[in-house]
Amino acid sequence: MRPVIITANWKMNTSPADAGPLAVEIAKATEVAGVSRIICPPYVALAPVKAALAGTDVAVGAQNVHAEAKGAYTGEISASMLVGLASWCIVGHSERRRDQFESDALIGQKIVRLVEAGIMPMLCCGEQLEEREAGAAVRTVQAQVKAALEVVLAQGGSLPDDLVIAYEPVWAIGTGKTASGADAAEMADAIRATLADLAGAAFAEATPVLYGGSVTADSFAEFMAEPAVDGALIGGASLKADQMSAIAATAAEAAAARAMG
């Protein structure tokens, strides 16, 4: 059975001083059975958040990593630098694809680096509004996942068992609009079809697929009602303990129902 996962992406919010207390508040507010929790603060807050969460089972994630292992890349952070600070790392977030022009090949290279360092990758994918309106959403997302993971296969031989995919339609991120539960489930199935082609049906079936894009306490239940969707990557609402508390409660209900079969 796949885990139910809720991931907080704090983006470029919080400071080293206030991130630890917020992480503790969210950890307490989301303490429920059967749900894996990950908090991804900015780089400069990784150490205080890690320290603040000691003794809890909330994992810490980074929001990005460089595609090279080391070298003359001023201002960048390598996978090995994250060891001890983060057990997860988001890659391929649409804001980085948009602002840093990250390609699928580069994102795949980042996953290679994370695997080398023993850090679990959360690969983001998602279509633009025009692609959805043109009926190309599934094709676009499948192509993103395939292109990134083919880089990993070409260099490493196999895909990491702890891979998580976050499906985030770009038009839904930070806009207050969400996909429907049915659209998210259709995309999760399509992503698993691509994973099955790349690494076999068992790998695809075992890989969690999260939904992201304006998830709130109000919208989350629609996604958790879909057996193909295993949780959420949450941006704006993840900075609010009351929102995260309600999201965790919904996740726990879904996890319990899934455990019952």
Nearest distance from residue 72's CB to ligand PEP, in Å? 30
Nearest distance from residue 197's CB to ligand PEP, in Å? 26
Strand partners, 212: 233
The one segment of 115-123, 152-160, 187-195, 235-243 that binds ligand PEP by CB under 6 A: 235-243
d(CA 114, CA 139): 26
Nearer to ligand PEP, 170 or 199 (CB): 170
**Residue 172, amino acid:** A
Which residue among 129, 236, 253, 256 contacts ligand PEP (CB under 6 A)? 236
Task: Indicate which residues carry an active-site annotation.
Answer: 93, 168
Nearer to ligand PEP, 22 or 215 (CB): 215
**Interaction residues for ligand PEP, span 159-218 (CB under 6 A):** 168, 173-174, 212-215
Which residue among 4, 14, 235, 255 contacts ligand PEP (CB under 6 A)? 235
- Give the Å distances, CA to CA, from 140 to 90, 99, 170, 236: 20, 19, 12, 25
Phi-psi region of 152 (alpha: psi -120 to 50; beta: other; left: phi over 0): alpha
d(CA 179, CA 60): 27
**Interaction residues for ligand PEP, span 98-117 (CB under 6 A):** none
Question: Site size for ligand PEP, by CB under 6 A?
Answer: 14
Which residue among 234, 246, 251, 252 contacts ligand PEP (CB under 6 A)? 234
Which residue in the shown chain puts its C-beta closest to ligand PEP?
235
The one segment of 22-30, 107-115, 234-242, 252-260 that binds ligand PEP by CB under 6 A: 234-242
The one segment of 52-60, 144-152, 181-189, 229-237 that binds ligand PEP by CB under 6 A: 229-237
The reply on whether position 233 binds ligand PEP by CB under 6 A is yes
Nearest distance from residue 129's CB to ligand PEP, in Å? 14
Contact set with ligand PEP (CB under 6 A): 9, 11, 168, 173-174, 212-215, 233-237
